[in-house]
Amino acid sequence: MKPPEEVRREFVRRWMQKAAEDMKAAKHLLARDAELTHPTAFHAQQAAEKYLKAVLVWHQVDFPKTHDIGRLLELVRSVDARLADLVAGAAALTPYGVEFRYPADLPEPTRKEARAAVALADRVRQAVLRHLRRELGPRGGRG
């Protein structure tokens, strides 16, 4: 049986892997198909969400099943205000995980908006990697 600390590390790594897959999908779509702006922005939102959830898992902060990045940032702030401040702009990604998922009266994101969404998600990725490397050491914050 693994010690609880190692179980926690492994769970964080799994969140980071899922986030990295969404980040890779967003970057792939952005680079290859100018028309797929919604899926690009959606995967960017999903990546940012999962990176933030990895931080919360590490710090053992319970979080609701939500796609609301603003809400997740409030929880992150409870353990690291500096990290929350660094990526506060990521709250703008929330609509791509919710409102844009289904047919509605909203226009599709533009190519510029999709590019900005990927850049925001990448900012979250970089900040979370730095945070988790401090917390977990060099092997911990992959993704």
Residue 143 inside a domain? The answer is no
Residue 88 inside a domain? The answer is yes
Residue 32 inside a domain? The answer is yes
Residue 141 inside a domain? The answer is no
- Give this prediction's pTM: 0.90
Q: Say whether pLDDT at 61 is over 80.
A: yes
Residue 107's domain comprises: 4-136
CB 53 within 8 A of CB 15: yes
What is the pLDDT, as a whole number, of residue 3? 80
Q: How far is CA 42 from CA 22, 105, 131, 134, in A?
A: 9, 17, 24, 29
Residue 23 inside a domain? The answer is yes
Mean pLDDT computed over 61-73:
95
Mean pLDDT computed over 109-113:
93
* Total of domains in the chain: 1
Question: CA-CA distance, 121 to 125, in Å (whole number)?
Answer: 6
Please, which pLDDT band fits residue 101 given cuts at 50, 70 and 90? low
Q: What mean pLDDT is reported for the chain?
A: 90
What is the pLDDT, as a whole number, of residue 84? 97
Residue 116 inside a domain? The answer is yes
Question: CA-CA distance, 60 to 63, in Å (whole number)?
Answer: 9
Please, which pLDDT band fits residue 139 given cuts at 50, 70 and 90? low
What is the pLDDT, as a whole number, of residue 26? 97
Please, which pLDDT band fits residue 126 given cuts at 50, 70 and 90? very high
φ, ψ dihedrals at 40, nearest 5° = -60, -50
User: What CATH number is given to the structural domain containing 83?
Assistant: 1.20.120.330
Lowest mean pLDDT among 10-19, 26-35, 60-69, 98-107: 98-107
Residue 98 inside a domain? The answer is yes
